[in-house]
Amino acid sequence: MSFRTRLNLFFVLLVVAPLFAVGVVLLRTIDGAAQGKVESALASQGRAVARVSDIYRDQAAALNGRIARDRELAAALESGSFARVEKRAGQLLSPNTDARRMRITIARTGKVVDVGSPSAVLPQRNDLVGSGSARERLGTIETSVIGPKSLASRLEGLTGRMIQVRSGRTGRVIAGATDGPSELPPQDRVKTVDGGDWTAVMLREAGFGGPQDGVVIFNRGDDSRASTGERIALIGTLVLFLVLAGIGALAVSRSLQRQVGILLEGSKRLGEGDFQHEIPRGNGDDEFALLADGFNAMSRQLRRRLDELEDERARLRSAIRRIGETFAANLDREGLLEIVARAAADGVRADAARARVVVDGREEVAETGGTTRFDALLRRAADRAGEGREVLLSDGSQHALAVVMHAADLVGTVVVARDDVPFTKADAEMVGYLSGQAAVSLENVGRHEEAEREAHTDPLTGLANRRRFDDLLASAVDAAEREGRPLSLLALDLDHFKSVNDQYGHGVGDEVLKATAQALREAVRGGDVAARLGGEEFAVVLPHADVEGARILAERLRIAVGGLVVPAGDGREVRFTTSVGTATVSGPTIDVPRLVASADEALYAAKRGGRNRTVSADDSAQPG
């Protein structure tokens, strides 16, 4: 991105973007003010509508009083003649000039008399009582003196707003404006609805029979926004400010570009090796003058630094040699490969490096840098180095160096690559030295792994030995306690094994033990662990196995061992059996010695019961 582009971006971020944000905020502010005025007016007009409603209910209450004092109506109610009640109610309603908009309902013992306009609104409800001394309650009366159309017309004239009267039973508009909001605001609250198309307030009024009718006062959303003149005045002011700011920014930009051009010319000559050229600093003491002083000081120091770099490179080579000498003590094959890859790349200033080794048919690789870009060249160089010599390859502007690693039980390669500059013999010697040290260390890793494997494996059967069994059992117990799952242990002992050694010799006895170990390996599940504890004693750890699961596996092992046949020479064959004891535990804490003791006790019970059988720690012997 050029300097001019950055200045323009700076102007946009510092002036244009904030100015745009201010304009948006101001437009929203004046819209909000207009909206506030509309909402305040609607709230005030809602209170006026409520007062008008109270007036009509007061008139209905006065009519209720006159009707309640009518003796003929009271007599009809007391007699229970609803035909007379309906007739008298109509007679009482007819003298009124607005009778066609009025309504009277009288309810008694679940029956209702309803006369007048069925759409009348704003009813007043009162109780009717008898004329006797007991003042018996005869029923309820609801009267209304106005219809919905008259109410809507009166309220529109009062408020100057659009009005809707909505039925409490159906929710439909029964009078007033036909178009309006589809979404209704909460009761007695002014709210913008339908996504800002309308601003409305709704008042709930008592209706006939219980459901409340609604009176909605609403205003179009356009009236809640600032006028076009206000918007034009605001936008014009912002545009004028933007033009003035742009003129000032242009003048500053050109001044800065001149000064930057001087600095660029000086840096270009410095890059071409002209360390005698100095950048004129001008007459001021601003940041550009200080930058010119810095460039001039840098050019004077570069020659001295070039001499120092050669010394630094020599020290780097020495340090890498010391790193190589530490490889022999490291026992982490993966870590060793990573170290040799990084050290080789750093030592010869390569852009990518790959260290690869094959041990017992298994390949391990460590990479550093952009190996993807050089992948084809790295592979080709490694393949040629596999022929037993160092390889220097070039492919256009890409160059590679490969060296073989030799050790007793492994073979591998170290390959480095970089752009533009070919590798030299000195580079090959450096990578070869690192590869040799790494090979010694990797050979030590192999010896360490073999020693560790022998320390945990029974040499005769290949099963885990007693030390490994104790470690695996402790791990299985920890997992069972943590997960709340059962854990089972099988203890096995070959029956009359001493007589096999006495009759056929220890060589045949060893073959019997090997065959038994192979049967255990084939019968146990993937997560189970079989071990030889010593002599003819074996054990199997069964994570997640309950009592029944342990019994089933124990029987499978017992049957498998019972079916083994081991040649004993001279055409003889040895058949043998085993006794098995099982123990199962579960819970937050597991007593390991008790688990082992329980399995041993079950094994001894199987021996005492006649051998060649399976016994659980809490069962009696089961015949085989």
Q: What is the pLDDT of residues 182-207, one digit of tens each?
A: 787 887 787 778 777 788 888 888 88
pLDDT confidence of residue 623: 38
Residue 270 has pLDDT above 60, yes or no: yes
Worst-scoring range by mean pLDDT, 145-154, 301-310, 358-367? 301-310
pLDDT of 381 strictly over 80: yes
Q: Which of 543 and 211 is assigned the larger pLDDT?
A: 543
Supply the mean pLDDT for the chain.
Answer: 80
Q: What is the model's pLDDT at position 608?
A: 93
Q: Report which residue type is found at 567.
A: P
Tell me what pLDDT residue 511 has.
93
pLDDT of residue 453: 59
Over residues 565-579, the mean pLDDT reads 90
Residue 553: pLDDT over 90: yes
**Cβ–Cβ under 8 Å, residues 30 and 230:** yes
Least confident of 109-118, 463-472, 580-589, 595-604: 109-118
Per-residue pLDDT band for 621 (boundaries 50, 70, 90) equals: very low
Average pLDDT on 269-286 reads 68
Percentage of the chain exceeding pLDDT 70: 83
* Region of poorest pLDDT, from 268-277, 385-394, 459-468, 564-573: 268-277
Q: Do the Cβ atoms of 193 and 39 come closer than 8 Å?
A: no
Contact 106, 89 (CB under 8 A): yes
Could you please report the per-residue DSSP string of 549-589?
A: HHHHHHHHHHHHHHT--EEEETTEEE---EEEEEEEE-SS-
332 vs 578, more confident: 578
What are the pLDDT digits (tens) for 218-245?
877 666 666 677 778 778 887 887 778 7
Give the list of residues 6+ apart from residue 524 with CB closer than 8 angstroms, or none. 530, 540, 542, 553, 557
- pLDDT above 70 for 37: yes
CB-based contact 277:269 (threshold 8 Å)? yes
Span 320-327, mean pLDDT?
55
Statement: residue 624 has pLDDT above 50 = no
Least Cα distance to 399 among 387, 391, 407 occurs for 391
pLDDT at 562: 92
Confidence of residue 44 (pLDDT cuts 50, 70, 90): confident
Q: Is the pLDDT of residue 267 over 80?
A: no
Rounded to whole angstroms, what are the CA distances from 440 to 208, 405, 428, 431? 102, 9, 18, 14
The percent of residues above 90 in pLDDT, for the chain, comes to 18
At residue 524 the predicted structure's pLDDT band, cuts being 50, 70 and 90, is: confident
Task: Provide mean pLDDT across the span 46-73.
Answer: 84
Q: Which of 43, 37, 34 is nearest to 201 (CA)?
A: 43
Structure pTM? 0.37
User: Rounded CA gap, 139 and 573, in Å?
Assistant: 112
What is the band of 310 on the pLDDT scale with cuts at 50, 70, 90?
Answer: low
Higher pLDDT, 30 or 624: 30
User: Tell me, what's the pLDDT at 31?
Assistant: 66
- According to CATH, the superfamily of the domain at 330-453 is GAF domain (3.30.450.40)
pLDDT score at 134: 54
| Residue 262 C-beta-side C-alpha neighbours within 13 Å | 17
- Give the tokens for residue 295: 């460039």
Positive or negative CA dihedral for 40, 42, 43, 45?
A: positive
> Which pLDDT score, from 0 to 100, does residue 223 have?
64
In which band, very low, low, confident or very high, does the pLDDT at 148 lie, cut at 50, 70 and 90?
confident
Q: How far apart are CA 518 and CA 516, in angstroms?
A: 5
Amino acid (1-letter code) at residue 93:
L
Task: Provide the pLDDT for residue 514.
Answer: 93
pLDDT reported for residue 582? 95
Give the pLDDT of residue 388.
Answer: 59
Give me the pLDDT at residue 489, please. Answer: 93
Average pLDDT over residues 59-67: 83
Res 445 pLDDT > 70:
no
Residue 515 has pLDDT above 80, yes or no: yes
The helix (run of H) or strand (run of E) holding residue 403 is strand 398-406
For residue 328, the model assigns a pLDDT of 46
What pLDDT, on the 0 to 100 scale, is given for residue 279? 72
- Using DSSP bridges, classify how beta strands 391-395 and 198-205 pair: parallel, antiparallel or unpaired: unpaired
**Secondary element (H or E) of residue 415:** strand 410-419
- 544/498 Cα distance (integer angstroms): 35
Quote the distance between the C-alpha of residue 541 and its chain's center. 38
| Amino acid in the structure at residue 142 | E
**pLDDT one-digit tens code per residue, 387-411:** 556 788 888 889 999 888 776 667 7
User: Which residue has better confidence, 551 or 50?
Assistant: 551
Candidate from 405-419, 443-457, 485-499, 556-570 with smallest mean pLDDT: 443-457
Q: What is the pLDDT of residues 256-266, one digit of tens each?
A: 777 777 777 77
Structure tokens at 285: 């003491």
Mean pLDDT within 17-26: 76
What is the rounded end-to-end Cα distance, in angstroms, of the chain? 87
Starting at the edge strand found earlier in the chain, the sheet holding 124-129 runs 111-116, 103-108, 137-144, 124-129
Fold classified for 466-616: Alpha-Beta Plaits (3.30.70)
Of the pLDDT bands very low, low, confident and very high (cuts 50, 70, 90), residue 557 is very high
Q: Which pLDDT score, from 0 to 100, does residue 597 have?
A: 93
Q: Does residue 491 or residue 7 have the better pLDDT?
A: 491
* Predicted local confidence at residue 546, as pLDDT: 92
582-609, pLDDT tens digit by residue? 999 987 878 889 999 999 999 999 999 9
Q: Please tell me which residue, 513 or 299, carries the higher pLDDT value.
A: 513
Residue 162 has pLDDT above 90, yes or no: no
Structure tokens at 63: 């009519």
What pairs with residue 235 in β-bridges?
A: none
Q: Kindly tell me if the per-residue pLDDT of 329 is higher than 60.
A: no
Q: Where are the domains of the chain?
A: 1-226, 247-323, 330-453, 466-616
